[in-house]
Structure 1
């Protein structure tokens, strides 16, 4: 009985060794082939580089650029992708796009159908780099297939923004995958100025995280044409939207009058009070003194600290802080005033 079990164990062990040996040989051979192919691609790139450069700059096309093998096509694709990031001239970009449309369609379509995710992603990046509008319908079919990963969908949406597709807004509102605020921010960063208007117009229909990303993007991209929209949010938006709008206002260094700002300086949310104090930096009016003095006793440490910093920027700020440090009834207000007076003395 024992010898029979030992025999079966030996058979299983030998089988595993054979499988592992076969797997190692497969990986080794694959690595050798991949290295050989990469060497050929690099050689082709050296051969094509000058001719492709001359074509992009002068429009004179050499017969040597008619690559036929998959490796030759791959070399041309990689070269052109590098050139696309180097040159911004309209003429060069037009030639670059035309060359890609003429030579790479079949190759890139085959890459889009590949089973490996990384290869499909590379194909999408190339379509964006080369601005291949001939791929639009194929990409729409791909997006509608529901079998794409989140990264692929985000890249498809970036391409849709690049080509200013009419259904971009609906595709952003109802993506196949649930997108985070950060991912929406990446997408909004790719939009041109005129593409923001339709999103602002349907703001109430947007997913919540997309609303937040849109407001932040208006601030970071300094979209001055949407200041009235931010002002409406400050008047009628929810607490979170008001905080976001104030953050955008601070980022754009916009002036808000003291009367309007005072509403936010006395808001229930400490985050809203904090962002309102930060907006005071671009006003520096003596009218702010009583509001900031009151906020020196705020329950939030961050609000007290920001209020002291803002007071220090005012013309009579040091005198106000000295008065608070010496006579305020609130212990926290006195401590914060003393801290910022010391910082002011050091600076």
Structure 2
């Protein structure tokens, strides 16, 4: 009985060894073939580089681009992707698009339908780089499949932005995957003026994560045409929206009048008070001194520190801090004034 068990165990063990050996051989052969193909691709890229450059600059077609093998096509795709990132002339970008749609579309379409996620993602990047508007239908099929990953959906949205798709707004608000504020911000920062305005108009209906990303994008991209929109948000009932609007205004270095600032300097939220103090740095008016002195006794350390820093930048601010360091009734205010006087002396 015991010897029979050993016999069966030996058969299983031998079977496993054969399978592992076969797998190792397969991986080794595949690696060798991949290396061999990569060497060929690099060789083709060297051969085609000058000819493709001439085509993009002068429109001179090379016969070698016709009836290319899969490896030659791959070399052309990689070359074209590199050129598209460094050449920005409208005429050249138009030739990039035409060449991709005339010569590379079947290859890129096959990659777009591949079962491997990384290969599909590369295809989406190429479609964006080459501005292949002829791929709209395959892209629609990928979206309608409902099986796309989050990365694929984000890349599809980037392509929608590039093509100025008429369904961009509903696609942004009704995504298959839940997008983060950061992901929305990246998308919004690539929008043109005509694409941005519908989002501003629909602001009240947007989910909070999109509202926050939209406000931040206005500040990051310095979209001065939406200053009036930000100013309206400064009176919003939502504390978070007011803080975000203040942050965007600060990022744009926009001047807010002192009566408006005074409301936020005395807000209930310490974050709102802090952001309002930062806005004071672009005004530097002596009229702000009483508000900043009052904030030197704020319960929040960050607010006290920012108030002292802003006071130091005002005309006669150093003398005001010197007076507070000695005579302020609040101990926190005295300490903070002394700290910033010392920092000012060092700098």
Residue 2 of structure 1 deviates from its aligned partner by 2.9
Q: Is the 8 A contact 2:80 2:96 kept in 1?
A: yes
1:173 is aligned to 173
Say yes or no: does 1:97 pair with 2:97. yes
Q: Is the 8 A contact 1:67 1:73 kept in 2?
A: no
Residue 42 of structure 1 deviates from its aligned partner by 1.3
Unaligned runs of 5+ in 2: none
1:133 is aligned to 133
2:214 is aligned to 214
CA distance in 2, matches of 1:105, 1:208: 39
Residue 204 of structure 1 deviates from its aligned partner by 1.4
CA distance in 2, matches of 1:155, 1:237: 35
TM-score normalised per structure 1: 0.98
2:281 is aligned to 281
CA distance in 1, matches of 2:4, 2:307: 84
Q: Secondary structure at the match of 1:236?
A: coil
Say yes or no: does 1:327 pair with 2:327. yes
Q: Is the 8 A contact 2:246 2:279 kept in 1?
A: yes
Residue 144 of structure 1 deviates from its aligned partner by 2.1
5 Å matches for 1:303-314?
303-314=303-314
CA distance in 2, matches of 1:272, 1:5: 76
CA distance in 2, matches of 1:148, 1:208: 25
- Give the CA RMSD over aligned residues: 1.1
Per-residue CA deviation, residues 130-159 of structure 1 (Å, 9 max, x unaligned), is 000001122122112210000000000000
Q: Is the 8 A contact 1:182 1:213 kept in 2?
A: yes
Residue 237 of structure 1 deviates from its aligned partner by 4.4
Q: Is the 8 A contact 2:65 2:103 kept in 1?
A: no
Q: Which moved more, 1:93-102 or 1:3-12?
A: 3-12
CA distance in 2, matches of 1:198, 1:57: 37
2:85 is aligned to 85
CA distance in 2, matches of 1:49, 1:23: 38
Q: Secondary structure at the match of 1:68?
A: coil
Q: Secondary structure at the match of 1:235?
A: coil
How many residues are matched? 347
CA distance in 2, matches of 1:212, 1:67: 51
5 Å matches for 1:236-251?
236-251=236-251
Q: Is the 8 A contact 1:51 1:65 kept in 2?
A: no
Say yes or no: does 1:268 pair with 2:302. no
CA distance in 2, matches of 1:9, 1:291: 84
TM-score normalised per structure 2: 0.98
CA distance in 2, matches of 1:152, 1:325: 58
Q: Is the 8 A contact 1:218 1:226 kept in 2?
A: yes
CA distance in 2, matches of 1:332, 1:5: 82
Q: Which moved more, 1:273-282 or 1:9-18?
A: 9-18
Per-residue CA deviation, residues 8-60 of structure 1 (Å, 9 max, x unaligned), is 32222212211111110110111111111111111211221111111111111
Q: Is the 8 A contact 2:243 2:271 kept in 1?
A: yes
1:235 is aligned to 235
Q: Which moved more, 1:20-29 or 1:64-73?
A: 64-73
1:23 is aligned to 23
Q: Which moved more, 1:271-280 or 1:40-49?
A: 40-49
CA distance in 1, matches of 2:327, 2:137: 72
CA distance in 1, matches of 2:91, 2:237: 46
Which segments of structure 1 move beyond 4 Å, counting only runs of 4 or more?
none
2:184 is aligned to 184
Q: Secondary structure at the match of 2:235?
A: helix
CA distance in 1, matches of 2:46, 2:280: 59
